[in-house]
Structures are given as C-alpha cells and as structure tokens.
Amino acid sequence: MVAQEDSLQQKKKIILFLAIFCGSFIADIGTKVWARHNVKAQFVDRNTQESFTLRFNLAFNEGVALGNFDDLPGRRIILSIIGILALGFVYYLFRRPESENRLYLWGLALVAGGALGNLAERVYYGAVTDFVQFWGLKSVKITWPWPTFNVADIVLIVGVGLMLIYSFTAPVEDAPKGKNANGKGTRKK
C-alpha cells in the first residue's frame, strides 16, 4: 500500500513539474514568436523617456544576461552547451528529496522552462529574442533603461527566487543516526 502511495505521489510530482515546465516554455516561445512578428526595434530618446515605463522594443541578444559575452568567439556553441548542462543540473535537482516540496518544485520547473526557451532560440536562431524594456530611474544608470528581456528571463528569476525562499525556510533535518552534528560517526561505548 505504501509503495502505491509513493508511486502516486511521484506521478503527481512529475505531472505538476511537466505542466509548469511546458506552460512556461510555451508562454516564452509564444511571446517571442509574437514579438518577432509584431514588435519593432525602436530608437528611444533617453532624454524624453519617463521614469517607470514599460515598453516593447525588439532586440536580439547573442550573449547572455545583460548582453555579456556577445563578442565571444564560438558563443553559440559554448552557450548552448552551458544551457544543456544547466538542464542536466535541473534534472539532478529534480531527483533530490528537496523537489518533494511544492515551492521548490515550482521553482525548478520555471527554471527549466525558461532555460529551454532561451536554449531553443539560441540553437535555432543563434540569438535570443528580447522585447520587454523597462525604464526605471534616470539617476540609477543600470535601470536607464534596464536591459531588454523576455518571458524566459522572468520565469528564470521567479523560479530561482522560489528555490531561494525554500532554501531559507526549509526545516533543518536532524543529523542522520550514528552521526554527530559534524557528520562524523559516533563511537559506541
């Protein structure tokens, strides 16, 4: 009976993960396809832009976050390999006991969906489609404008945030039997 319950719990876990993973991946790819067909790259005058505005502005990022490594030779292959390794790491984390927690599982699935969305575009186009542009405060240079981003970036950040929340709020497990607090075996007297 316990084995059946464990099997049912595992199936529920997989279904939840796949639903969130597929939903975030489809939302990302769908919005990127929409942006490629409906959003134009625009010049925005920094002097006339208002603070705290959000706009659509098409951009193609051949590097990684904030445009880093966009001049790296072989970046398409190197960054694609890193993306594949990241998805492998997500699989490793999925198999760990922490993934039994729903908050952690949601975060992991969002990270996987966002990572696959950016990886798919990088492999297919050689660049990632970005189209959301945020203008923060003129006095804070990094937010004027904030680097253009996409749905994958949003779900990646939310996913990592959920995993961090879990890591700070998860109960600390007691040390395994036969081990002291330092993880070393205890002597029997």
Distances (CA, A) of 26 to 29, 32, 33, 114, 168: 5, 10, 10, 10, 30
Instruction: Look up tokens 């760990």; give the residue.
Output: 96
Active site residue 130: yes
Q: Considering the candidates 45, 70, 130, 174, report the single residue annotated as catalytic.
A: 130
Question: Is there a contact between 110 and 162 (Cβ–Cβ < 8 Å)?
Answer: yes
Instruction: Compute the half-sphere exposure of residue 22: CA atoms within 13 Å on the CB side of its CA.
Output: 6
| C-alpha span between 114 and 116 (Å, rounded) | 5
Are 168 and 104 in contact by the 8 Å Cβ rule? The answer is no
153 assigned to active site = yes
**Which residue out of 6, 45, 153, 174 is catalytically annotated?**
153
| Alpha-helical regions (H) of the chain | 2-38, 75-94, 102-125, 151-169
Please list the active-site residues.
130, 153
